[in-house]
Amino acid sequence: MNWRNTDNSYGLVSIGLHWLIAAAAIGLFALGVWMVELSYYDRWYQRAPQLHKSLGVLLFGVMLARLAWRRANPRPRPIGSALQNRGAAGVHSLLDVLLFTLAVSGYLISTADGRAIEVFTLFSVPGTLSGLEQQADIAGRVHQLLGFALIGITALHAGAALKHHFIDRDRTLKRMLSSKA
């Protein structure tokens, strides 16, 4: 078992960060879609947004760690044609941009009134940018649209991985499932 990436496979840290971010992003999307439909009298009306914010801040930290790890651990050699590899690189970059932009827009929604974001009562993220005209509304709309875009691009990414596995029969998916691939 390799902790670090090799020329032929991803290491356990890269694999773990990939799947943690994927699960958190999908979970946050589901939580976000569910919580905006809650009524004022629902017992989760206050708790769900706080959970969403706290998990979002933690996900942002994990994404920063993943970027640092990626810089320290080059990716394995690409599999497939040059066109497929350029497409994959573009989709990966788009996923990263969407995740970070979602975090920023979520921050702008949550701090529009100047209050800090409390993260599971462990620490606070200060509200440093607030008071912009219609900040919460504009950031909220952007956050929603980007969330749906992220899920669409994630589905494309997953479909491409399945295509590599079942049609091309190459090691692309296996490399992200095991450090032994």
In tens digits, what is the pLDDT along the chain, a chain of 181 residues?
799 999 989 999 999 999 999 999 999 999 999 999 999 999 999 999 999 999 999 999 999 999 999 999 988 998 888 999 999 999 999 999 999 999 999 999 999 999 999 999 999 999 998 888 999 999 999 999 999 999 999 999 999 999 999 999 999 999 999 877 5
CB 154 within 8 A of CB 95: yes
Note the pLDDT of residue 57: 98
Q: What is the pLDDT of residue 181?
A: 57
Structural domain total, the chain:
1
Asked, for residue 4, whether it belongs to a domain, the answer is no
Determine, yes or no, domain membership for 2: no
Residue 85 in domain: yes
Please state, in angstroms and rounded to a whole number, the distance separating the CA atoms of residues 146 and 141. Answer: 9
Please check whether residue 165 lies inside any domain of the structure: yes
In a domain, 76, yes or no: yes
Rounded CA gap, 173 and 164, in Å? 7
Residue 61 in any domain: the answer is yes
Do 12 and 3 meet the contact criterion of CB atoms below 8 Å apart?
yes
Position 60 in a domain: yes
Instruction: Say if CB 59 and CB 28 are below 8 A apart.
Output: yes
**Chain centroid offset of residue 161 CA:** 17
pLDDT the model gives residue 46: 94
Please check whether residue 6 lies inside any domain of the structure: no
Phi-psi region of 87 (alpha: psi -120 to 50; beta: other; left: phi over 0): alpha
Range of the domain at 115: 12-175
